[in-house]
Chains A and B, each alone.
Chain A
Amino acid sequence: MTFAVVVFPGSNSDRDAAEAARVLGERARLVWHKDTELGEADAVILPGGFAHGDYLRTGAIARFSPIMGAVADFAERGGPVLGICNGFQVLLEAGLLPGAMVRNRDIKFRCEFVPVRVDQVDTPFTSACAPGQVLHLPIAHGEGNYYAPPDVVESLEANRQVIFRYTDRSGAMTEGSNPNGSVHAIAGICNAARNVVGLMPHPERACEAPLGSDDGRIVLASAAEAIRDGRFRARPAAAASR
């Protein structure tokens, strides 16, 4: 199967994402942000980095990149879309996921490995995980402090759209285990249809043991498996245009 990785000017984790797919034995294609079609794609990744220099707000300008029309259409048709770090911020600004990011609570850019608990396994990117499984994943962000108004957070919780949370190694939420101040220690969420997922940690940078962890493999491996057995597939474009 094929992951299409969108490259924005300022993306810096695009090749990491493509390499992570190859490590799993899957295909990856880099798609330039000025393209208007994704081409062959079973899943789409919006990678980490600083798209368009993070001018105005993180992800704010990327939503105007020509490729985003095709990404929104792919998402609308039920295709699996993963936004990692800056890619998550782009999905928020594009309105494909609810909420927004503000500066980390302590202002610091946090670059370290943290435990991340998988709370829901019925998304294309967590389907191979065990509920409550704790992954050892790197974070690298200055604006990963997830915020949404209380009613939105309430509906995310009620609809089980909080997919990843910052916890300690045992999976417990503690005062010290939230690295950026995110509301409800949210590290990642999905949309109502559950095919679009965004998270701040970088699973693609933790796919081989020499990199410090290979816990991240399960995120893309989940997608590969879910797509192969037909659980998460984009409907053909013609059916969606009605």
Chain B
Amino acid sequence: MAFEKIKLPFNLSVVILFGLIMLSLQLMSSAMQESSQLSAMYSWLLLFNALGSVVLLILVGANIYSLIQHTKRREAGSRLTTRMVSLFVVLALAPAVIVFYFSMQFLHQGIDSWFNVEIDRAMEDALELSQASLDQRMRWHLKQTQQLTDRLEDSSESLVTMEIENLRELSGASEMTLFSRQGRIIASSSINPSDILPSLPDEHIWLQLRQNSEYVAVAPFHEEELMIRVIVTVKAREPQYLQALYPVPVRIADLADSVEFAFVRYQEMNFLRNSLKMSFSLALSLVLLMSLSAAIWVAFINIRNIIAPVKELVKGTQAVASGQYDQQLPVIAQDDLGFLVESFNDMTHRIAVARDETRQAGVEVENQRAYLETILANLTAGVISVDALYKIRTANQAAYRIFHIHVNQFIGRTLVELVEGYAELAEPLKSIQRLLEQADDIWQQRIAFLGPNGRQELLCRGTPLFSQDGQRVGAVVVFDDVTDLIQAQKNAAWGEVARRLAHEIKNPLTPIQLSAERLQHKLADKLGPTDANILKRSTQTIVQQVEAMKEMVDDFSEYAKPSKKQTVNIDLPKMVQEVLALYALKSGVKFKADYETGLLIINGDPVSIRQVLHNLIKNALEAIDAHGLIEISLHRVQKNNTDFIEIALYDDGPGIKDEQIEKIFEPYVTTKAKGTGLGLAIVKKIIEEHGGAIWIDTSRKVGAGFIIQLPASNSEQL
């Protein structure tokens, strides 16, 4: 398993590290035994361990510094590492410090307990006893030697050698020598005949001898042996000195040596007490420091390894939070954290898949929306949707075409708000708004208004929108510009009427007329003058009425025909002038023409427009009964960014009654006894076919006034 492969070398290295530390500390501990061969290496081992501790402390310090830096930077996992390390340090440090403290206590007390006043005194007494014992022996040998000098005083120089030999044997000394005042050997005797040269006193002894005239001291001799050296002055002779060396019995020497050894050892130990304590404390501290540093360092490495997946997880989570779902974390270990990492990887994978699907769905929805918008935009019907507060949410291109308001200006505003900028749309917009507010169900309404292109008729259909819980969330209004359709329907209806008139009425008229004329022709001669006269008048009436009927039918035919046959640019002032010129000869009528400067050109069928002018002027002439004033004015006006040419025609006749104003433009409506009632209807038809509008100027109180607005031609070319 990968896990085993990664884990094993690390564990092995830790075991090796701790093994080395243990070995080093064990060596140091062994070296502390005086008898150990490692004792000579103690300083080096101490130094090595101290350096090891320093290295480990530096490692721990570097780790702590690094951890602090990471924590300051708020890096992932740093706080968890800090907590775990702190916990470990506290858990490891507390018992170690307690053990250390009590160990030190026991150590110090233990060492102190080795030494006490009684042992101290006993040791000193033992040494003193030894010294007293030797002292007594020395004094005894001194006395003995002094007594021997008496015998020497009597002996002659020639016999002195013999005498010394005797004295030595007598006294039990191992060596006896007689020195002259200058230190020259006069005679000597030794227990060991091979010793030719006797033991010579040194300068210090001579000095002491000259001062005190005798000398006695114990001195080591040949390493192990102790000798009592006694030197006394032989008084009788020229000052001479007798030196006698008495061996200290082996048993006493051994005992004294033993006592001295023990005393010295004790003395040394007592002297080294504090150093010993310090030394043990140092060793113990090093053991604690090294093992703790190593443990903390290993803890750092282990915790870092444990935290590594958590760190990766945090980074991964942050990446996921920032929208990177492709994050896949490495699975370092097959433990619980490894399982967590695997689960995280699964989760991010699933999220990534879900995100892709959502994105795909979003794209599809967007496509769908774009498709719907395209359809909406290309609909001929205008579509406006509003929210619960009647603010417009969507509007399509057709709405713009119908209302001539840019789509962008729709969004976020209510219909009423739009009225402020577009006064001419006040009527339809307010109507729609009112209907939206009032209607709880699908509604349909035809709304007519004078738009920028003249009179427009809209077929509006509104559908309120409800949420699932029944709350009203808005509405959709669909509206069609049915102006042309209505016009076409009207035209078709009138065309049908004309066709029927031609077919059903006009056809019988000719036989009626011919029959009436034949009756006149055949019966005129056969009847009396009175009857003949009646016949004649009746026949004339029939013929006249038939003629009138024919004219009426012709007018209908004319009305039913499309007027906008061939469109050209028409210079309106010029045409008005030409038309007025035909009526200028009429006496009693005054014409007043008022033209605005500049080009007043429309695009239309000149014959139809001329007919409009004729019809209106004839109408006015009839109204004023050939006496009065007719005013014609031409202006350029602007509505909804579109230029119109306005033709205003006023007379000072009796005017139009209010009840007739609404129906004046419909066929068969007339105020005159004579006339078909089609004149104004034809005018209206022609004007509307040219995209214009005609209405009665109700503001004028005298006579009648007609206002015509025709779209100005875009091209200024005639």
Does B associate with A?
Answer: no
User: Which residues of B are at the interface with A, using a C-beta cutoff of 8 A?
Assistant: none
Residues of A within 8 A of B (CB): none
